[in-house]
Amino acid sequence: MKYISEYRDPGLAERLLARIRERSTRPLRLMEFCGGHTVSIARYGIRQLLPSRLEMLSGPGCPVCVTANKDLDKAIALARIPGMIVTTFGDMMKVPASHSSLQQVKAEGGDVRIVYSTQDALEIARGNPNRPVVFIGIGFETTAPTVAASVLQARREGIGNYYVLSQHKLCPPVIKALLDSGEVKLDGLICPGHVSAIIGSRPYEFVPRDYGIGCVVSGFEPLDILLCVDMLVAQMETSQPRVEIAYKRGVKPEGNQVAIRLMDSVFEVTDGHWRGIGTVPGSGLKLRSEYSMHDAEEVFAISPGEPVEPRGCVCGEILRGVKTPRDCPLFRRECSPENPVGPCMVSSEGSCAAAYMYGEHDGG
């Protein structure tokens, strides 16, 4: 199968669904850990297609959504420094922080610019040598190598006015934190495709070993996800949980060693702050001391104050799988993509935005 249309073949989908229905004999609760999967599951109505005894939950797989207000406030404080240029991916602009958003700061006169890559941010820094340029580094292991590469390039070219505010997160530690909490009992994990393309499948081996839960890395097309569910059902029905890859065209067990070495050369592991989850040890990345001259937190004095959470928003509970968008009293009322109260409605990979877009609030 080489072409997108083949990964969306209705006949193949029906055969996979028939096999899932035949194999599935007991209730199972599965959770996906990738915002791309969240969107695909909603877009193709996969929850509605699966047997009702298979429950699909969304986890903390949207990097914009899991960025805590504590960290968002830092980005906004930087954007308010006179002469500062803040660069960011577009889905960060509307995310509401404690008292404002990057979009609001821009409307007030702050120089906040949307970029499509770190190369754009570097080009802005080259073109404005007398002004500091900060790139807001969000994302999981997927984007961290490209940010690391930009720091190395800035060092190599002598671009001394380029800085990074690292808000990167690591996935395996937060998976462990959620499983340790015992708040939601899970039977299987749909492991993130893009993250696993970097780190491989081996970092998840602790999950079946220590928790007796199945793990399958999935791609993003409907047949990818159905195959992943089929493999998880087979694992748990036979009581043989293990780590498997249903996305072999993109993921190898060892991952991308070049990207991993690049990331490790610039970043070191630190604690990460997750919305709705709190501080998870060893789940964040910060620049190593030898690159501190490019670390926005080290160079600039920013004191954003105590973070404040949006009243009534249950985004944190949605990210933990405790609630769904339909459980939020603000969903489709006060909170919509045009007027988001919380980040799960802002990002295109957010659970609330996906449910709103594809009608999961009323049965799809």
DSSP 112-146: EEE-SSHHHHHHHHHH-TTS-EEEEE--STTTHHH
Please report, for the chain, the start and end positions of each structural domain, with discontinuous segments joined by +: 4-57+188-241
| Alpha carbon distance 162, 136 (integer Å) | 11
Neighbours of 291 (CB within 10 A): 20
Helix (H) or strand (E) holding 287, with range, is strand 278-287
Which of 142, 163, 177, 165 has the alpha carbon at shortest distance from 72?
165
| Alpha carbon distance 299, 309 (integer Å) | 27
pTM of the model: 0.93
With b for 16 or more beta-carbon neighbours within 10 A and e for fewer, the 305-329 pattern comes to eebeebeebbbbebbbbebbbeebe
Q: pLDDT 10s digit of each residue in the chain, 364 long?
A: 566 778 888 999 999 999 999 999 999 999 999 999 999 999 999 999 999 999 999 999 999 999 999 999 999 999 999 999 999 999 899 999 999 999 999 999 999 999 999 999 999 999 999 999 999 999 999 999 999 999 999 999 999 999 999 999 999 999 999 999 999 999 999 999 999 999 999 999 999 999 999 999 999 999 999 999 999 999 999 999 999 999 999 999 999 999 999 999 999 999 999 999 999 999 999 999 999 999 999 999 888 888 998 889 999 999 999 999 999 999 999 999 988 999 999 988 999 999 999 986 554 4
Q: For the CA atoms of the chain, what is the radius of gyration?
A: 21
In CATH, 4-57+188-241 is 3.30.450.40: no
